[in-house]
Amino acid sequence: MSRDNDVPAFEGHKPQARRLAEKALDASRAGDDTTADALFAEADRLDPEAVADVLGEDVATGQRRTSRNPAPDRDASSPEQAGIGRTAAPGQGFRTWSARGTAGAPRTPPRHPTALAIALEVNGQTHALTVDVRTTLLDALRDHLGLSGTKKGCALGQCGACTVLMDGKRVNACLTLAVMADSHPITTIEGLAEDGALHPVQQAFVEHDAFQCGYCTSGQIMSAVGLLTEGRGDSDAEIREQMSGNLCRCGAYANIVDAIRAAKEAV
Amino acid sequence: MLAFGYAQAKDLPMGIELLRDTPAALPIAGGTDIIQLLQEGVIAPSELVDINLLPLRGIEPAGEGLRIGALTRLSEIADDARVKARFPVLARALEETASPQVRNMATAAGNLLQRTRCLYFRDATVPCNKREPGSGCPAMDGENRMNAIFGGSSSCIAAYPGDMANALLVLDAELEVQGPDGGRRLAVADLHREPGDTPHLETTLRPSEIITAIHLPATPRSANSHYLKLRDRASFEWALVSVAVALETKDGEIRSARVAAGAVGTTPWRLPLVERRLERGRLDEAAAVAAAEAATHGANPRSQNAFKVKLLRAAVQRVLLMAGGLA
Amino acid sequence: MNAIIGQPTPRVDGPAKVTGQARYAAEFRPHGLAYAALVTAAIPRGKIAAIDTTEAEQAPGVLAIIHHENCERLPYNELEKRPQVDAQSGDQLRVFQGPEVLFVGQPLAVVIAESQPQAEGAARLVRITYELDEPSTLFQLDDGKPPSEGNAKAGRVPESERGNADAAFATAPVQVEVWCSHAREQHNAMEPHATIAEWDGDRLTLWDKSQWVDNVRLEIAAIFGMEQEKIRVISPFVGGAFGSALRTWPHVTIAALCARRVGRAVRVELTRRQCFTAIGFRPMTRMRVALGADADGRLFSTVHEAWGQTSMYEEYAETTLEPARTTYSCPNVRTKYRLIELNTNSPCPMRAPGQSTGTLGVEMAMNELAAQMGIDPLELRRRNYADRDESADKPWTSKALWQCYEVGAQRFGWTTRPPAGSLRDGRWQVGWGMATAIYHADRSACTAGVTLYADGRLVVRTATSDMGPGTYTAMAQVAADTLALPIERIDVEIGDTEMPKAPVHGGSITMASVGSAVRAACEALRDKLVPLRGNDKDAPEAVLQRHGLEMLQAEAESKPGNESKDYASAAFGAVFAEVRVDPALGILRVSRLVGAYDVGRVINPLVARSQCIGGMMGGIGMALHESAEWDPALGRVMNANLAEYLVPVCADTPALDVSFVGEPDLVFNPLGAKGLAEVALCGVAPAIADAVWHATGRRFRDMPIRVEDILGED
């Protein structure tokens, strides 16, 4: 067998798909949508990635996609890279991986401080404390300052239970580090009532039974106060949309909307 | 979270310097994604460099357009009267981003750099080529309902989840970037990288570079721009499919068009074929249907996300009808 | 009685909740509190080959790390009688007692440190290597096993039959067969589960998120081989639970272990991700329902078969098939129940356990039968009305379901329901649907104590809980009513094992059980006051003062009597739904829900309505959103967070309308309340599913119904 007679390795359907897609593109440029769609559909059947490549290189709009990575050849990919899934036997996915564990690669040790002295300004009072820089504002409020009115529901900004006002705006206390909140005035649920009288939003929440278990309530109320401060809430639809960052698993939303509407009228 | 050091940059040179001095450092601004990634053990930087003190916040006129500081909060952009009037697609995309709380915290540049919501990337106990190169991609045949139908590779099909970037694509926005070697301009279209066989490399930013601003040029299309975001629940969710469109029309004819889709690509995804079909006629129902037909050529769906193909076409069609005042 | 019962009294604990003063389990701060973080299994089945804690131990602030190699051996004594909240067969997970791994997320070690971030950071440095075994991760009906004897005794039987359902089905002029399912659902109460443990010598105090403090004490005593009297469990506020806090989960034991190891109070608070594995869930259930009817739509055959998920170590079973046996009049009914064992954490009751699942199947089948026959679905229900519980062959203590149908239909405007596929609003297709709701009413023995002080305050004490339904408020109303006192003078104290014994706060039994006990205790106090009072009409505190008494106490137990043998009891409801569908974009939104409920006496319509609208939102979740996405290749739930495990948000809230019909059920209990938390969830999902059919002309039988379903295949 001579080298000259070696058959080139089959490159998959990519080259053919590319040719079809390029012709389709030409048809498209010429305004022949029917031909273009038919050719693209044929090319899609062969190798949609090749079609995407051709489209990505399309300069018709005047902007070339320079960031595009060379598309890898699907057919040449190794089985390891193709991943694992439902077709694999259950549990097989770990066999090649889990022994590595979950702790990750060796890390560079930190060069900058891992603990810092900060001053948190909460409800008009300044608290000096030293925190591990990993401490979120939420944990600082609850575990360091004992202000447990601000609730931890997910610690990932996905539920709104930790909503406080920072610099007058509603934020998720779980998504900021305490060291980053240094010197930014913070209002929590504990700072809302004045002289023992409930804030109008708090009062409305009681009157409209806008909660059941009470755990999301602080966040709902702080979010509602933020909403009113922003001048929003002119319609029930807007209140609903604007309160959608605060989950209530007891399902008190209808009453929450009623309470906010009433509080807006009262303020 | 594994222990990290914290440093606060007082100005831009200091920020760049801090990042250059500590290669395993990450800049943090709004924190809305970084804290999640830290809490879930997805990332473990040696330090966080807090760049919030950098004077990069605010929106100012730049020529006929606007210059948005990198640290401007999403809510500040969405609420800006100039943005609402002249770049409505951006305001709309941001109004539908995350929650009011997150919008008050998240920054413009940080939003562009948010990382995928691929379920396998976010669970640090399973393989993921993006999180741990070479470990595999269980999303290929797993829970890939939210994953990409464009731009995937055999290593990764994680979708770019954001909204703002799609709007910026149709607005021809550019980024100002500062790094150790000075400043440069970068089209938003050139910011994100497709995964190829290096899915852990997600952007074209160079080491220690910081995005400092977003430029919104005034184009004949900017003011006639629209955004449609589709999701399972009515609010507070990443998109299943989203579409941004900006059109220049004269005497009822479309002179030029930009269309981009979100949550379908491994990067924010421009749809040039759709644009071309639009750029030669009136915008009516038939034109919207014909243009939408071209939206999904090249789509490569997986086991659970084939619906995105149909949904993308429907979304393109609908947003065009909205743009034409027909829906 | 004064007029306070039946009044929309604002919650007595409202001010504490809106000011952030109500204190939940994780928020107590015993002196010297240390913090713990769990290290959980990353594989679904196998053994720990090695555990390396070297690096973690050196991390700053770390006090101790406990795992199977260094944990004290715990006796885990068998209880004489298993509490009904536990799985009735199998063994509970034994923490740190061996190297076996049974599911992803199983706690394998715990790190105790001076601060929460230190504990969590060090937990990530614990390195575990595993020996893998082949896990069971596929939900395959052929693998279904009949429930074992323990579950059968508790009413979760493998098979049941009255008449001959299959033969009757075969000859039925009209036949409907439906395969349907709902996804695995997670409770996801807003408060993550948490326990603080503190030892004082051999005495243990636990601040715990619990729906049943007495049972936590019982189970922890058995696990540690202690006397119950040495354990105190405190749980004044529960931030939602929906069943997830019925059981005594492993992390409670872990908290006690940690506190003993470091000699300090220790807090274990689950992360949201851990809340998908360290507690339970509503098992995914697949069902087959076959209905046979005569030409008038009268049922004469019902076959209901169900397959549910359970774990490898416990057999959790539900009352899924009860609605098929009790909802409608039908001479021939057969049920079959199978469980599929998977390498996952054990499921547990979640709001309307079993019944909401079974109702989904039965009601969807009824709606399909109605459509097939061209009978209005409401009329079909009327034709099959069950005047007695045909399963138990007993009369109902009360049943006003007929009025539920009438009032609900009227408030919804159902009588004008147009033909399917005919309602339009622009691009929206609009549809209406309905379903029956049923949940068995139960009652348990409960003791309550009341103390009247000379200053005029009355304190009610009982070891029940309030996870949100308004126990504090309702009990205050019952006491105010019985003793004719102003409600402002009444303090209710609950959630503490030091208080009189109470049953589980779940299964909608609290009002009937605890309310009756509070009533009885107040009556006992009144009886004590009578001889002191003589003929005068002085206020009670004046009576005490006149006799020089600082206080007067009474305690009483109330428990079900023969009525539970002679009668069946249930809460009923009729749910009507309107949906809007944008077929091109696959968007499905619920625009209107109307529910009419017979729950006996409504103690507080304000709070009761809240519970009903909450049940409706839960039903929307079941129908449109909730699904724990299980990857069988990796043996785990992949969307273990609140961003990707979807629950309804405020913007998903439709117009909600709630009515109460019927009379106090004084046969069932002296208060006449039947309970409503569970019935409020039942029926919502099938009503929505029917409305989607009515809008689109297409049936979707697997919940949740999502965009891809509406879009359909090309």
pLDDT per residue as tens digits for the range B176-212: 999 999 999 999 999 999 999 999 999 999 999 999 9
- Rounded to the nearest 5°, which phi and psi values hold at C342? -130, 155
Q: Are residues C160 and C248 in the same domain?
A: no
Name chain C contacts of B119, Cβ cutoff 8 Å. 629, 638-639, 644
User: Which two structure tokens, joined as six digits, stand for C435?
Assistant: 């379903």
Instruction: Quote the minimal CA–CA distance from C237 to chain A in Å.
Output: 8
Number of H helices, E strands in chain B: 12, 12
Percent above pLDDT 70 for chain C: 100
Give A42-69 pLDDT, tens digit per residue. 898 888 888 888 887 764 344 434 344 4
Sheet with A163-166: strands ordered across = A125-132, A115-122, A186-187, A163-166, A169-172
Residue where a domain terminates, one of C559, C577, C608 = C559
In a domain, B255, yes or no: yes
CA neighbor of B236 nearest in space, from A237, A256, C649, C585: C649
Q: Are both C423 and C477 inside the same structural domain? A: no
Token code pair at residue B172: 């021809």
In-domain check, residue C14:
no
Interchain pair C631, B138: CB under 8 A: yes
Please tell me whether residues C148 and C108 are part of one structural domain: no
The reply to whether B235 touches chain C by the CB within 8 Å rule is yes
Is B319 in contact with B227 (CB distance < 8 Å)?
Answer: yes
Mutation to test the B interface, candidates C35, C58, C130, C585, most B Cβ within 10 Å: C585
Q: Which residues of chain B, if any, have pLDDT below 50?
A: none
Same domain, residue pair C500 and C436: no
pLDDT at A67: 41
Is residue A218 in a domain?
yes
Which domain CATH number covers A266? 1.10.150.120
The arithmetic mean of pLDDT across residues C546-562, rounded, is 95
Residue pLDDT, tens place only, A8-33: 566 688 888 899 999 999 998 888 88
Partners of A125 in the β-ladder: A122
User: Would you call A242 helix, strand, or coil by DSSP?
Assistant: helix
Q: How many domains does chain C have?
A: 3
| Residue C695 phi, psi (nearest 5) | -75, -40
* Residue B267 resides in a domain: yes
Question: Does B39 sit within 8 Å of A133, measured CB to CB?
Answer: no
What is the number of domains present in chain B?
1
If asked whether residues C687 and C623 sit together in one domain, one would say yes
pLDDT value at residue A7: 59
Burial B163-187 (b: 16+ CB within 10 A, else e): bbbbbbbbbbbbbbbbbeeeeeebb
Rounded to the nearest 10 degrees, what angle do helices A217-229 and A200-207 cross at?
130
Complete edge-to-edge strand list for the sheet that includes strand C46-52 = C100-101, C46-52, C127-132
- Please write the tens of the pLDDT for every residue from B243-302: 999 999 998 899 999 999 999 999 999 999 999 999 978 999 999 999 999 999 999 999
Beta bridge partners of C205: C198, C232
Residues C342 and C370 in one domain: yes
Contact C354, C335 (CB under 8 A): no
Residue B285 at interface with chain C, using a CB cutoff of 8 Å: no
Relative to beta strand B253-262, strand B241-250 is antiparallel
Check whether C539 has a pLDDT greater than 90.
no
**Domain span holding position A50:** 13-62
Asked if C283 contacts C310 with a C-beta cutoff of 8 angstroms, the reply is yes
Q: Write out pLDDT tens, residues C227-252.
A: 999 999 999 999 999 999 999 999 99
- Shared domain check, A209 and A174: no
Tokens of B288: 């919207």
pLDDT at residue C714 above 70? Answer: no
- Return d(Cα C117, Cα B269) in angstroms, integer: 39
C295 and C153: one domain? yes
What does the alpha-carbon distance between residue C371 and residue C368 come to, in Å, rounded to a whole number? 5
- Has residue A141 been placed in a domain? yes
**Domain-embedded: residue C219:** yes
Tell whether C699 is covered by a domain. Answer: yes
Residue A133 and residue A176 in one domain: yes
Specify which residues C207 forms β-bridges with. Answer: C196, C234
Q: pLDDT tens digits, residue range A201-232?
A: 999 999 999 999 999 999 999 999 999 999 99
Q: Which of residues 40-69 of B touch C (CB under 8 A)?
A: 40-41, 44
Residue B287 domain boundaries: 225-323
Give the Cα separation of A99 and A255 in Å (integer): 51
Gap between the Cα atoms of C33 and C430, Å rounded = 56
Of C511, C534, C559, which closes a domain? C559
Q: Name the token pair of C511.
A: 């009002």
- For residue range C345-383, list pLDDT tens digits in order: 999 999 999 999 999 999 999 999 999 999 999 999 999
Residue to substitute from B245, B297, B300, interface A, most A β-carbons within 10 A: B297
CB contact under 8 A, C15 and A206: yes
- A183 and A199: one domain? no
pLDDT at A73 over 80: no
User: Considering CB atoms only, which of B1, B141, B187 is closest to A85?
Assistant: B141
Give the Cα separation of C254 and C125 in Å (integer): 19
CATH label of the domain that carries residue B248: 3.30.390.50
Does some domain include residue A88? no
Query: Would residue C276 count as lying in a domain?
Result: no
In the structure encoding, which two tokens stand for residue A214, read together?
A: 């009470």
Note whether residue B304 is domain-resident.
Answer: yes
Q: Which of C631, C589, C622 is CA-nearest to residue C183?
A: C622
Task: State the average pLDDT over residues A152-168.
Answer: 98
Q: Are residues A232 and A265 in the same domain?
A: yes
Count how many domains chain A has.
3
Q: What does the buried/exposed string (b/e) look like for A56-93 if buried means 16 or more CB atoms within 10 Å of the residue's CB?
A: bebeebebebebbbebbebeeeeeebebbbbebebbbb
Please check the confidence at residue A4 and state whether its pLDDT lies above 60: no
Which pLDDT score is estimated for A66? Answer: 38
C-chain CB neighbours of B143 within 8 Å are: 629, 631, 638-639
Among residues C42, C545, C494, the alpha carbon closest in space to that of C274 is found at C42
Q: Could you give the angle at which helices C471-483 and C516-533 cross, rounded to 10 degrees?
A: 30
Neighbours of A13 (CB within 10 A): 16
Q: Which residues pair with B107 in a beta bridge?
A: B73
The answer to whether residues C497 and C231 touch, using CB atoms and an 8 Å cutoff, is: yes
> What CATH number is given to the structural domain containing C488?
3.30.365.10
> Which residue of chain A has the CA closest to C104?
A91
pLDDT of amino acid A75? 33
Q: Looking at beta carbons, which residues of chain A come within 8 Å of C22?
A: 214
The helix-helix angle for A217-229 and A253-266 (nearest 10°) equals: 40
Residue (of B79, A240, B33) closest to C649 by Cα position: A240
**C606 occurs within a structural domain:** yes
- Report yes or no on B217 lying in a domain: no
Structural domain includes residue A5: no
Position B23 in a domain: no
User: In terms of DSSP H, where are the helices of C567-654?
Assistant: 605-620
What residues in C contact A246, CB-CB < 8 Å? 650
| C108, C343, C471, C650, best to mutate vs chain A, most A CBs in 10 Å | C650
Domain range enclosing C209: 31-134+189-271
- The predicted-structure confidence for A77-115, as pLDDT tens digits, reads as follows 332 322 222 333 444 555 444 434 444 556 788 999 999
Residues of B whose CB is below 8 A from A61: 258, 270, 272, 275-276
Known catalytic residues of C are 678
- Given C529, C559, C589, the domain boundary residue is C559
- Which chains are adjacent to chain C, needing at least 3 Cβ pairs under 8 Å? A, B
Question: Nearest C-alpha of chain C: how many angstroms from A151?
Answer: 8
Residues from C in contact with B at Cβ < 8 Å: 42, 59-60, 104, 117, 120-121, 124-125, 271, 273, 427, 584-587, 589, 624-625, 629, 631, 633-634, 636, 638-641, 643-644, 646, 648-652, 706-708, 711, 714
How many angstroms separate the Cα of C280 from the Cα of each of A147, B65, C86, C349, C510? 30, 55, 11, 8, 22
**Dist CA A224 CA A219 (whole Å):** 8
Same domain for C98 and C198: yes
Please check whether residue C506 lies inside any domain of the structure: yes
**Nearest chain C Cα to B96, which residue?**
C651
The C-alpha atoms of residue B197 and residue A73 are separated, in whole angstroms, by 10
Three-state DSSP string of C623-635: HHHCCCCEECCCC
- Do C511 and C584 belong to one domain? no
Tell me the residue type at C421: G
In angstroms, rounded to a whole number, what is the distance separating the alpha carbons of residues C406 and C412?
10
Residue B27 tokens, joined: 């800049």
**Residue C564 burial (C-beta neighbours within 10 Å; 0-12, 13-18, 19+):** middle
